[in-house]
Amino acid sequence: MRISFAPGCEERIAADGTELRYYEVGSGQTPVVLLHGLFGSASNWLPIMNDLEPHYRFYSLQFPIDPTAERRHGKYRSISQLTDHVVRFFDELQIDRAVVGGNSLGGQIALDFCLRFPERVERLVLTGSAGLFERNLAGGQRPRLCRQFIRDQANQIFYDPALVCTEMVDDIYEMLSDRHYRKLMVKVAKSTRDRYMLEDLARVTVPTLIVWGRDDTITPPFVAEQFRENIRNATRVYIDECGHAPPIEQPREFARALHEFLGDLATSEFAAPVKPR
């Protein structure tokens, strides 16, 4: 069963006992599937999707690890299981082949999908991707959960501390106050660290775009260089004044880099250039 909403609104499909939730934006022919990070959401990609919507068909998939109990699926605790969720999404929407990209956790899942199903990936986009090195925000400690601790950790994600607003801190605090959700997040995060993918990178043959915040302290710039050096057909772009989440912190610059990388796949010439900030 598929429930459709207006363009840019969330859509849902019931598939094999799992709810597939996603955004679909764009009138182009080339499908681009985008995957969010651990505490992110599918809506994180909407500014980029809306900027480039005349040229591509964007899909932003929500992973089934959000805090709402009726939407949370405990069977998705590892990179491979979350990749299986992406496969189900491709199959349900009958997407044979697409550009696949992701941020942080989503980047590692995009990479895993590319390695397991290379015939279904046209190009790969990695930004602040896990899979090689990711600094533990808490420094390996188990501090008492409080709003100040959450704010301190979130401040490490972004270059601009103004992005860490009270509403964001309150939302994360509420999510992590759920013991079951907190345990799920720990398991998923552990899965990203357990799956070290350096030796796998030589198997990536599709053109790959690596977009990195120059001020990323979670996956520092040397991680971007490791990806670039070990993926044979990779292009690396740095974004200034940007931390671990370029699609959120610098969406216009990210959109510009993405369109330059995918321009030959676009439906038409880029008639409305992305405006500089």
* Alpha carbons within 13 A on the beta-carbon side of 3: 10
User: pLDDT value at position 194?
Assistant: 87
Place of tokens 């490490």: 156
pLDDT in tens, 136-164: 654 445 557 889 988 998 899 999 999 99
User: pLDDT value at position 2?
Assistant: 33
What integer is the mean pLDDT of 226-254? 98
Whether 256 shows a pLDDT value over 80: the answer reads: yes
3-state SS, one letter per residue, for 46-80: HHHHHHCCCCCEEEEEECCCCCCHHHCCCCCCCHH
- Which range has the worst mean pLDDT, 21-25, 144-148, 194-198, 208-212? 144-148
User: pLDDT value at position 69?
Assistant: 47
DSSP reduced 3-state for 17 = coil
Nearest residue to 273 via CA among 52, 92, 8: 52
Whether 261 shows a pLDDT value over 90: the answer reads: yes
Integer Cα distance of 43 and 190 in angstroms = 24
The dihedrals phi and psi of 117, each to the nearest 5 degrees, come to: -135, 60
Whether 3 shows a pLDDT value over 50: the answer reads: no
User: pLDDT value at position 74?
Assistant: 60
Secondary structure element (H or E) that encloses residue 230, with its range: helix 221-230
Whether 58 shows a pLDDT value over 60: the answer reads: yes
pLDDT band at 125 (very low <50, low <70, confident <90, very high): very high
pLDDT in tens, 59-72: 999 998 876 644 55
* Sign of the CA dihedral with 182 first, then 188, 194, and 198 last: negative
DSSP state of 147: H
Task: Name 15's bridge partners.
Answer: 18
User: pLDDT value at position 39?
Assistant: 87
pLDDT band at 7 (very low <50, low <70, confident <90, very high): very low
Q: What is the fold of 2-265?
A: Rossmann fold (3.40.50)
- Which range has the worst mean pLDDT, 159-173, 194-208, 226-240? 159-173
Q: Are 112 and 138 in contact (CB under 8 A)?
A: no
Integer Cα distance of 124 and 223 in angstroms = 16
DSSP reduced 3-state for 21 = strand
User: pLDDT value at position 267?
Assistant: 64
Greater model confidence, 177 or 234: 234
User: Domain residues of the chain, as ranges?
Assistant: 2-265
What residues contact 215, with CB distance under 8 A and at least 6 apart? 159, 240, 241, 242, 243
pLDDT in tens, 12-51: 888 777 789 999 999 899 999 999 999 899 999 999 999 9
Greater model confidence, 151 or 101: 101
Please state, rounded to an integer, the average pLDDT across all residues of the chain: 87
